[in-house]
Structure 1
Amino acid sequence: MDLRLHACAYSFHTLPYRSTFTPPPFFLFRLQVVGSCRALVDGKMCLIGPGDLLVYRPGEPYHLQVEEMDGKIESGDYYLLCEGSWIEAWWEAQPRQTLQRIHLDAGMLSLWQQLSMEQHRIVQYNPELIRHLLCALCLSLDRLPVETLPRQDAPGRGSEPVLRMKRYINEHALNRLKVADVARFAGLSVSRAVHLFKEQTGYTIIHYAQEIRLSNALERIRFTDLSLEAIAGSCGFPTYSYFHKIFKARFGISPKEFRNHSPENVPEGDYVITSGTEIKLTGMSPDALRFLKTE
Structure 2
Amino acid sequence: MFNELLYEYEQETGPTFGVLMADHFRRSYGFYGHRPRGTLDWLLVYTVSGTGSFRVDEEVLTSAAGDAVLLPPGIPHHYAANQAGEWELLWVHFLPLPEWQDYLQLPRTQEGLLTSAAPDAPIRARIEEAFRRLIADARRSSRAGQELALLSLAEILILLQESSSCVQGDRSAAAPALQDERITQTLRYIADHAHEPLSPAALARSAGLSESRFRHLFKAETGKSVSDWVTETRLHQAAKLLELTSRPVGEIAVYVGYESAYYFTRRFSAAFGMSPTAFRRFAEERRQSDTAD
TM-score band by shorter chain is 0.3 to 0.5
Q: TM-score, normalised by structure 2?
A: 0.43
